[in-house]
């Protein structure tokens, strides 16, 4: 395997809180999958969980070198937790097809957060 790309993103939790307050379901449905929403809504500080997932999607899109758009859409990436608690990203739709075309074999993410910020990084590995 060889390194294809890396990405990082930091999100202000207040920005996500404001978007949820102002746009509600429209914002949540545009950005997050049903499973992500179910997870976040169960958390004590749901905005923090949403912010971490938002950052992860941005970091993955940066690692692909595309940003969010034609090749990789918001809901084409889904952040889930493994049984171990490790976060992982599942690619769907356009992102899954794009990764397959590129020979991507693995996408790794790491999430972190504090009271006011959430951050994520992503590493994409390609078959050699």
Catalytic residues: 62, 113
Query: Could you give the angle at which helices 46-64 and 93-102 cross, rounded to 10 degrees?
Result: 30
How far apart CA 6 and CA 37 sit, in angstroms, is 26
How far apart CA 106 and CA 111 sit, in angstroms, is 17
Q: Is 109 strand, coil or helix?
A: strand
Query: Could you give the angle at which helices 46-64 and 34-41 cross, rounded to 10 degrees?
Result: 140
């Amino acid at each position: 395997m060889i390194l294809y790309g890396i990405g990082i993103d930091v999100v202000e939790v207040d920005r996500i809180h404001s978007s949820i307050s102002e746009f509600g379901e429209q914002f949540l449905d545009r950005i997050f999958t049903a499973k992500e929403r179910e997870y976040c809504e169960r958390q004590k500080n749901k905005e923090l969980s949403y912010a971490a997932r938002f950052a992860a999607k941005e970091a993955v899109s940066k690692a692909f070198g595309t940003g969010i758009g034609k090749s990789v859409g918001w809901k084409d990436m889904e952040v889930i937790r493994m049984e171990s608690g490790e976060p992982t990203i599942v690619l769907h739709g356009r992102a899954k097809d794009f990764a397959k075309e590129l020979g991507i074999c693995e996408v790794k993410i790491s999430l972190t957060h504090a009271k006011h910020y959430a951050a994520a990084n992503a590493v994409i590995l390609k078959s050699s």
